[in-house]
Amino acid sequence: MYLYNLNFIFVTINLKKFGIISSIEKNKNITLIINGILEKKGHDIVVIDFKNNFNAPCSFFIICSARSKIQINSIANNIEKILLNKLKVKNWRDEGRGSNWRLIDYGDIVIHVFKEETREYYKLEELWGDALIKKI
């Protein structure tokens, strides 16, 4: 319980530091998702804010890395569990179970959990040069 609260405070402080707290304050799901990633030792977390982009696929991408397929599924399952238990929100789409790239679509937020090598290969962050990209 205390570890979760400390992670929430840490993430909130970092988000304020990087200047994207205004977007996140409007959508608390992002903070819960980031905490879910951190709980399962996900790393290299990036939030891409599409709110000012015309024809964007969603409002936010959250991208993180994992070291194995087991960790990918652990992170994704933890995010789903947290959002379901705390907010009663179910995902719209879940793709890539057991693969090197798992995608969870919540409509306005799309989460990508990559194995490190796969993330390096696709370089998803580089496709959205006109969006606000912040590392956590």
Number of helices (H), then strands (E), in the chain: 5, 6
Q: Which comes out higher in pLDDT, residue 51 or 99?
A: 99
The answer to whether 28 and 22 have CB atoms below 8 angstroms apart is: no
Supply the pLDDT for residue 23: 52
At 105-114, the pLDDT tens digits run: 998 899 999 9
Least confident interval from 11-25, 88-102, 107-121: 11-25
Residue 98 has pLDDT above 50, yes or no: yes
Specify whether the backbone of 60 is left (phi greater than 0), alpha (psi in -120 to 50) or beta.
beta
Quickly name the fold that domain 2-135 has.
Beta Polymerase; domain 2 (3.30.460)
Strand pairing category for 109-115 and 132-135: unpaired
Residue 4 has pLDDT above 70, yes or no: no
The answer to whether 79 and 106 have CB atoms below 8 angstroms apart is: no
Spatial distance between the Cα atoms of 44 and 84, rounded to a whole number of angstroms: 24
Supply the pLDDT for residue 22: 46
What backbone phi and psi angles, to 5 degrees, belong to 112? -115, 120
Domain boundary assignment for the chain: 2-135
At 49-87, the pLDDT tens digits run: 988 777 788 889 999 999 999 999 999 999 999 999 999
- Sorting pLDDT into bands at 50, 70 and 90, what band is 21? very low
Supply the pLDDT for residue 85: 95
Using alpha carbons, select from 115, 106, 42 the residue that is nearest to residue 80. 106
Mean pLDDT across 9-32: 58
The answer to whether 42 and 33 have CB atoms below 8 angstroms apart is: no
The sign of the dihedral angle between the CA atoms of 11, 88, 81, 126 is: negative
Supply the pLDDT for residue 19: 47
Residue 16 has pLDDT above 60, yes or no: no
Spatial distance between the Cα atoms of 96 and 105, rounded to a whole number of angstroms: 12
